[in-house]
Amino acid sequence: MEHQLIKNYLSIHKERFLNELTELLKIPSISAKPEHKNDMQKTAEAVKQRLIEAGVDKAEICQTKGYPVVYAEKIIDPNKPTVVVYGHYDVQPAEPLDLWDSPPFEPVIKKTDIHPEGAIFARGSCDDKGQMYMHVKAFEIMMKTNTLPCNVKFMIEGEEEVGSPSLGHWIIENKEKLKGDIILISDTSVIANDTPSIDCGLRGLAYMEVEVTGPNRDLHSGVYGGAVANPINVLCKMIASCHDENNHITIPGFYDKVQTLSTAERNEMAKAPFDINEFKKDLGINDVQGEKDFTTNERTGIRPTLDVNGIWGGYIGEGAKTVLPSKAFAKISMRLVPNQNSDEISKLFQSYFESIAPASVVVKVKPHHGGEPVVVPTNSKGFQAASNAMQDAYGKKPIPTRGGGSIPIVALFKKELGLDSILMGFGLDSDALHSPNEHYGLFNYYKGIETIPLFYKYFAQ
* The only residue of 25, 40, 119, 205 in contact with ligand BES, by rule CB under 6 A: 205
Nearer to Mn ion, 151 or 406 (CB): 406
Assess 159 for contact with Mn ion (CB under 5 A): no
Q: Is 405 in the site for ligand BES (CB under 6 A)?
A: yes
Question: Tell me, what amino acid is at 409?
Answer: I
Shortest spacing between CB 445 and ligand BES, in angstroms: 16
Under the binding rule (CB under 6 A), the answer on residue 87 touching ligand BES is: no
183 touches, from ligand BES, Mn ion, none (C-beta below 5 to 8 Å by class): none
Tell me which residues in 411-440 interact with Mn ion (CB under 5 A). Answer: none
Pick out residues in 332-371 that bind ligand BES (CB under 6 A): 369, 371
Stretch that binds Mn ion, among 183-191, 249-257, 288-296, 328-336 (CB under 5 A): 183-191
Burial of 318 (0-12, 13-18, 19+ CB in 10 A): exposed
For residue 163, the partner it binds in ligand BES, Mn ion, none, with Cβ less than 5 to 8 A by kind, is ligand BES
**Binding at 408: pick from ligand BES, Mn ion, none (beta carbon under 5-8 Å per type):** ligand BES
Span from 22-30, 52-60, 114-122, 181-189 in contact with Mn ion (CB under 5 A):
181-189
Judge whether 238 and 349 are in contact, CB under 8 Å: no
Q: How far is CA 41 from its chain centroid? A: 22
Tell me if 205 sits within 8 A of 367, measured CB to CB. no
Q: Can residue 187 be called a binding residue for Mn ion (CB under 5 A)? A: yes
Q: Interface with ligand BES includes 407 (CB under 6 A)?
A: yes
How far is residue 137's CA from residue 134's CA, in Å, rounded to a whole number? 5
**Length, in residues, of the chain:** 461
Residues whose CB is less than 8 angstroms from the CB of residue 19 and which lie 6 or more positions away in sequence, other chains included: none
What distance separates the 2 farthest-apart alpha carbons in the chain? 82
Instruction: Give dist(CA 190, CA 132) in Å, integer.
Output: 15
Number of H helices, E strands in the chain: 12, 19
Which of 90, 128, 159, 429 binds Mn ion (CB under 5 A)? It is: 128
Tell me: does residue 398 bind ligand BES (CB under 6 A): no
- Interatomic CA distance for residues 407 and 101, integer angstroms: 29
Compare residues 124 and 301 and give the one whose CB is closer to Mn ion.
Answer: 124
If binding means CB under 6 A, how many residues of this protein chain bind ligand BES? 17
188 touches, from ligand BES, Mn ion, none (C-beta below 5 to 8 Å by class):
ligand BES
Rg from Cα positions in the chain: 23
Which does residue 87 touch among ligand BES, Mn ion, none (CB within 5 to 8 A, set by kind)? none
The residues near 79 (Cβ < 8 Å, ≥ 6 apart) are none
- Choose among 172, 206, 205, 257: nearest CA to 407: 205
Identity (one letter) of the amino acid at 310? Answer: G
Judged by CB under 5 A, the stretch of 22-30, 121-129, 188-196, 436-444 that binds Mn ion is: 121-129
DSSP state of 275: -
Residue 140 three-state SS: helix
Applying CB under 6 A, which part among 172-180, 315-323, 372-380, 398-406 lies near ligand BES? 398-406
Cβ closest to ligand BES, residue 370 vs residue 453: 370
Q: Which of 20, 39, 73, 127 binds Mn ion (CB under 5 A)?
A: 127
Size of the site for Mn ion (CB under 5 A): 3
